[in-house]
Amino acid sequence: MILDHFSGPRELSYNYLDIAFSPYDDYWKELRRMCVQELFSAKRVHSIQPIKEEEVKKLIESVAESASQGSTVNLSEKFLALTVSVICKAAFGLSFHGTVLNNNSFDKLFREAFLFLGSFSASDFFPSGGWIVDRLTGLQERRERSVRDLDAFYEQMFDLHKQENKDGVEDFVDLLLRLEKEETILGNGKLTRNHIKAILMNVLLGAISTSAITMTWAMSELTRNPRAMKKVQSEIKNQIGNKSMITLDDIEQLHYLKMVIKETWRLHPPAPLLVPREVMSEFEINGYMIQPKTLLYVNAWAIRRDPETWKDPEMFLPERFMDNNIDAKGQNFELLPFGSGRRICPGMYMGTTMVEFGLANMLFQFDWKLPEDMVVKDMDMEESHGLTVGMKNDLLLVPVKYREH
Ligand code: HEM
């Protein structure tokens, strides 16, 4: 079932649906509370700011090198590498970008996991016989291989972790392993090794591609819309002046940049169908009775391009957020980049600061142009497919350094 609009008073209907379709027991509640406290809180996000600064500095240096040679930069790859490094260092105390594990590069492992998570699976729709179709299409085999590889990756990461984490500081993985060892009860169950892997999987998949996808779409929309590009760069230049790098505090003054990001999320939600829900108890919507166990998708992509809600929905117009209070925190259902309700993205604050910080610095340090042989109308804005949706083909731009320090 796909929900692409809400009838009746929106808040009421969504709250009612949320209770009916978001699995949420005491164990889950406790686990989520712990993750939010340990990994996603504003305090934690501020404490990892030096990691972000270090990684953004490295990114600036590598882009500056391309700028000095007049060569093209693959921004899709650069933004992905940035988020992999920041998230892995923040969550695991280690960086895996470029690492080869079990003959598989870390990046490939996760791309593959994303692809199969978002692919059509017949067994989701036909539980009794769909698995035969999944076997015939090869999906089942790929899925099993991917799960095996990921499992091996986690085990290897736990080992590496034990060796490398000698500084006595307990990070997120240490904490989970300690809770497992102490047989801590969370809600009504113990934290097992499998649960730890599932939590890490959720964090990695939730965190990595979403932030990178947002930055890439934002840069491609700005390149297609030189007026918006000029405006956002002027704002940054005027507000920041001569500093060598933008800080997290500076971002608060960058109102147009924030509008650019919201507009990017409106046109290109990184998770267009949010995360699938399973109906817990029977409920009625638009005269249809929906039965327990029905798989339910919220079509956030369609909601954000609805002409009844948005004027000129296909146009990239950051100014549309100037005179309203629409934010991305899950209360305005016309814009749900982080979902809403009980399963709303817990990494919302971390994701937003990552995107703002990465983009602001790339726009502050460089001007950007298309490769020599390309004009705006040649830009390929086709979407990829999967649980998260980025650009199908990588974004290649030429940086022009306009700041000298
Ligand atoms: C721009 C960045 C991000 C976007 C657009 C985004 C978007 C989303 C969306 C749409 C969901 C599903 C919510 C729903 O179905 O209602 C989600 C779930 C989740 N996100 Fe994010 N996310 C981002 C960054 C992050 C970061 C940085 C982290 C972790 C550090 C993270 C961790 C998670 C987790 C663990 C879930 C699953 C929550 C659950 O199942 O209850 N996300 N995210």
pLDDT per position as a tens digit, 46-97:
888 899 999 999 999 999 999 999 999 999 999 988 998 888 888 777 666 5
Question: Ligand 1 centre and the CA of 64: distance in Å?
Answer: 31
Q: Does 227 map to a domain?
A: yes
Domain hosting 362: range is 2-93+165-366
Q: Does 69 map to a domain?
A: yes
Nearest alpha carbon to residue 4 among 312, 213, 309, 293: 309
Residue-level pLDDT at 12: 43
Q: Does residue 138 carry a pLDDT above 90?
A: no
Segment 349-385, tens digit of pLDDT: 999 999 999 999 999 999 999 999 899 999 999 998 7
Q: What is the DSSP string of 146-163?
A: HHHHHHHHHHHHHHHHHH
CA nearest ligand 1 atom 1, residue: 211
Contact between 165 and 174 (Cβ < 8 Å): yes
Q: Which residue has the higher pLDDT, 31 or 299?
A: 299
Question: Ligand 1 centre and the CA of 372: distance in Å?
Answer: 37
What is the number of structural domains in the chain? 1
Residue-level pLDDT at 384: 86
Q: Does residue 188 carry a pLDDT above 60?
A: yes
CA distance 211 to 256: 19
Instruction: Quote the mean pLDDT of the chain.
Output: 84
- The one-letter code for the residue type at 233 is Q
Tell me how crowded residue 175 is: count the other CB atoms within 10 A of its CB: 15
Q: Does 314 map to a domain?
A: yes
Residue-level pLDDT at 26: 77
Residue-level pLDDT at 220: 98
CA distance 5 to 310: 14
Q: Does 113 map to a domain?
A: no
Q: Does 100 map to a domain?
A: no
Give the C-alpha distances (Å, rounded to integers) separating 142 from 112, 136, 223, 361, 388. Answer: 9, 11, 37, 38, 18
- Closest ligand 1 atom to residue 203 Cα is 35
Q: Which of 110-114, 277-281, 300-304 has the highest mean pLDDT?
A: 300-304
Nearest alpha carbon to residue 275 among 295, 250, 291: 295
CATH number (domain holding residue 344): 1.10.630.10
Report CA Rg, the chain: 22
Nearest alpha carbon to residue 73 among 380, 393, 368, 374: 368
Cβ < 6 Å from ligand 1: which residues? 87, 202-203, 206-207, 210-211, 214, 270-271, 274-275, 337-340, 343-347, 350-351, 355
| Contacts of residue 135, Cβ cutoff 8 Å, sequence gap at least 6 | 141
CA distance 338 to 100: 31
- The one-letter code for the residue type at 296 is L
- The one-letter code for the residue type at 285 is I
- The one-letter code for the residue type at 337 is P
Q: What is the mean pLDDT of residues 390-394?
A: 92
Q: Does residue 145 carry a pLDDT above 90?
A: no
Q: Is 27 exposed, middle or buried (0-12, 13-18, 19+ CB in 10 A)?
A: middle
Question: Ligand 1 centre and the CA of 33: distance in Å?
Answer: 15
Tell me how crowded residue 139 is: count the other CB atoms within 10 A of its CB: 19
CA nearest ligand 1 atom 11, residue: 345
Q: Does 140 map to a domain?
A: no
Q: Does 250 map to a domain?
A: yes
Question: Ligand 1 centre and the CA of 275: distance in Å?
Answer: 9
CA distance 225 to 378: 14
- Closest ligand 1 atom to residue 199 Cα is 35
Question: Ligand 1 centre and the CA of 49: distance in Å?
Answer: 19
CA distance 262 to 260: 6
Q: Which of 96-110, 192-206, 280-294, 323-337 has the highest mean pLDDT?
A: 323-337
Residue-level pLDDT at 10: 45
Give the C-alpha distances (Å, rounded to integers) separating 373 from 67, 216, 223. Answer: 17, 21, 15
Strand runs labelled E in 260-332: 277-278, 283-285, 288-290, 295-298
Q: Which residue has the higher pLDDT, 143 or 400?
A: 400
Q: Does residue 40 carry a pLDDT above 80?
A: no
Q: Does 311 map to a domain?
A: yes
DSSP class of 350: H
Ligand 1: residue of 87, 264, 338 to mutate (most ligand atoms within 8 A of CB) is: 338
Q: What is the mean pLDDT of residues 120-129?
A: 73
| Contacts of residue 229, Cβ cutoff 8 Å, sequence gap at least 6 | 222, 223, 368
Q: What is the DSSP string of 259-288?
A: HHHHHHHHHS-SSTT-S-EE--S-EEETTE
- Closest ligand 1 atom to residue 277 Cα is 15
Residue-level pLDDT at 248: 86
| Contacts of residue 395, Cβ cutoff 8 Å, sequence gap at least 6 | 74, 75, 76, 216, 219, 220
pLDDT tier at 315 (50, 70, 90 boundaries)? very high
Question: Ligand 1 centre and the CA of 35: distance in Å?
Answer: 12
CA nearest ligand 1 atom 26, residue: 207
| Contacts of residue 145, Cβ cutoff 8 Å, sequence gap at least 6 | none
Both structure tokens of 108? 């490939």
